[in-house]
A and B are shown apart, each in its own frame.
Chain A
Amino acid sequence: MTHNLLTVTGLTVDYTSRSGTTHAVRGVDFAVPRGAIVAIVGESGSGKSTISQAIVRSLAEGGKLVGGAIEFDGRDLAMLPERALRSIRGKEIGFVPQDPSNSLNPLLKVGEQIAETLRLHTKLSKTDAAAEAVRILDEVGIPNAAARAGQYPHELSGGMKQRVLIGIAWACTPKLVIADEPTSALDVTVQRHVLDRIELLAREHGTSVLLVTHDLAVAADRADQIIVMQRGLVVETGTAAEVLGSPKHEYTRELVAAAPGLSSTRLVAREVNIASDALTLGFGAPAVHDTPNILEVEHLTKTFVLKSAGVATSFTAADDVSFQIPRGSTFSIVGESGSGKTTTARMVARIASADSGSIRFDDDDISDITGDALRQLRRRIQVVYQNPFGSLDPTMSVTRIVTEPLRAFHIGSKAQRAETARALLSAVRLDPDLAERRPTQLSGGQRQRVAIARALALGPELLVLDEPVSALDVSVQEQILQLLVDLQAEFGLSYLFISHDLGVIRQVSDHIAVMKLGRMIEQGPARIVMANPAEQYTRELLEAIPGRRSA
């Protein structure tokens, strides 16, 4: 019995489409020892997911294995005919896919989807397979397994669906399980439990696991071996201690520095490049009052009524929320999905209306203003959205997008606005050559810079940022966070920063508030909340940050 269960040599994968050929994987070597957990870490475009698909020879449309050997338990998977591969897939190699919401057939019961793989690869009868499926559901930690087995995927939460997928992967006790970003779509606390479960199953059954992830901290926590990839090539391999403690490659060092779970300090502001005075074209008069707080929120409440087939359920999104934001500081709200943090942010930005409570901005009550007064308020409170793909109009050029607020308030001539756009783009460190591009031609990080430039155009005093970096690659995240910190220092901005990721919040916040199910359960200065949380839930959130084991 060889020491290595899986040995990959010289793996090369190309994708061919109408726009040309992309070399996604360019000659990759690595090995997975028996019973070990190996993590492949990389950002988007690194080729890590392609590798996981190539091993089971299920590449996406246009993908082709052009070279290399995949030695699995004595056989070269790259050479096997399709028929033989089918008896390996599911039976000797299990696969846990990334997106639990769409990875289960919506029309089949959950138990049946596990039983299907059992019937295919083992000699179990229909009834035995069904019973075994229930046992597996139990083993992956789903309460009420027997009842759940008869339910459809849409009746389960994201975390439970992922567990079902884990169950499917382990059903026939495979030798290797490939888990492709198994937790990226889940809440932080759920992520931790799912990864725990994977580790447990691996140790119990002696399964090797190939874990594909973008999160270096997760890899550090869970894997015996880490393989770092960049643009189709392996740049570094080693144990967690080696890779984190003494990274040899430049890129690895970047990743280690950028990983929010691993770094623990608040970012320090650096210089912002102000190209010309034109930048402040749209800036209004500075604040009138000098109250210490730019924003004061008291007893904000919002209830939604959901109607489904005539049955009305009321749902309290925000429940008696109160907080203050001192001028020039960053106030962060952290919470998982359904915590009410986004609803609170939208109420502050006066996009959504509150049912009760008051909002004071710069000592003016803005809770009920409408019409032109509300529109004028827009010059002082701006929003940066989470989704860089959705918040920019795909038919407009960057310049048009950035100058739109100036046009809306009839500020400046066309030439002046163009000059201001250039200055703004330079301030957000975006290459001026991109000014005439459309959003579809930009990367996620570039789009988010455009969104920030647009938000700055009118010279706001308060910026509401709703998960501004969650959709970005880790290294890009760090750049955008640094940019935000720099801009804050330069322009005296106050931030209301919303995120589910405490690791990110740790880097930018002065004050932190924790929300759960609509209530603000804890708030205080960042250092104190992080070091000495008063609430159990906050402690859970902190513990769920990957990377603590190796910090």
Chain B
Amino acid sequence: MTTLARDFQRAAARVTADLRHRGLIQRALHSYEVKRDEFKGRYQNWNEARQSAAEIKWEAINHLDTYLREFITKLEARGTRVHVASTGEQARDYIVSVAQENSVRTIIKSKSMTAEEIDLNEALEHAGCTVIESDLGEFIVQLRHEKPYHLVFPAMHLTRDEISDLFQKELGSEPTNSPEELTMIARQVMRQNYCCADMGISGANFAIAETGMISIAENEGNARLTTSLPKIHIAILGIEKILPRLEDLALFLPMLATAGAGQPLTCYNSLFGGPRQPGEVDGPEQFHVVLLDNHRTELLADVEQRDSLHCIRCGACLNVCPIFKNIGGHSYGTTYQGPIGSVITPHLRGLQNWKHLSSASSLCGACTEACPVGINLHHHLLHNRRNAMHEKTLWWEKILYAGFAFIMRHPSLYRIAGKLGTIFFPLHQLVHGTLLDPLQHWTRTRKFPAPKRETFADYWRKNKSPTEATHGPS
């Protein structure tokens, strides 16, 4: 087992033993489910909408070269500087160099998981800049020196009291557990920051090829201020964010909000097409768009799992995942948590190091059912398991299953194995649930059933044998 796999097991064991934490997450996601179902009900046919969304993303991803070229050409025509980064390092270096060339000291940033993916804040801080997160949830986890807990709700693991304690300690505010008052405390700090920031960094929810624009969906209005007050705006986004046409947003913006947050539409939806144009009175003087590959083209080359590039990072798969609900977001140790993270992290950061996430699933399929763009998430977990075994064989498992397969191909051996089981079962009772129990991973928390002396095959032979002669194996 790799260190990462061991860390994962330990973190999962810690959170599953924490009933308060599990209860908090489950209650929060239950409220989400109620709202999501309410707004899903407003669609004439939610599943047809999902199908349309999947088809549009299929079109975009399978013609990514064409659409990216169109997107870049249109953006550049209005004076945007587009940088295509093959790796996280290239993206970081570019953004740091823009900051340095413009003598940037303070950076305000709206929510971007792509920036998290490449540890952008650390790189900028290393270069001497101060980075302030303007999304409330991100601001809270930044104050706690934590990574986001959930790719859409970064601070969902914290109660109002915990946030109040944090604000008292870090911002010197008065104690309160009113959400409005807590928001006002953050807002007062934030308004100052918007005004003095030299640069704003944002992510993007969609990139529209037809018009050369990025679309940002948000609820707090912080992205608008982040992108329009400072004189430089840098947007960083994965190359998979492409949508072919502006009209596609009519489907995708409501779907993103409904599937991800249980809202009909996010409160603020903005499009950005370039820096301040001649004759315009506001907007940033410089607009940079950084398009990040970071192994996405390798995923594009994988025909079987290419559809995982359809992902719009709505978080719906996390919200319904029984694993996520019980181990929480930090246990994964990844930028992208939950089912989508377990599928793509092995591609982004190495299969052998991250394959344990694909194994840590009961394959229940709730994620695939919830995904608004039809990614076959739980089947991809199976594909990752197969690819991991193919790439680097785990010999003990391979030998175990070769033996298992040999027995299962020989019905007489299978019968003998079954009979041996009934003989050894009484002996097993002596060690049941103890450290000596070979089945302890099951029996520590669960009773193991007794094998029956008369199997179904025995019953059939005894009671229904006249038919046996005519219906034997071929």
The answer to whether A and B belong to the same complex is: no
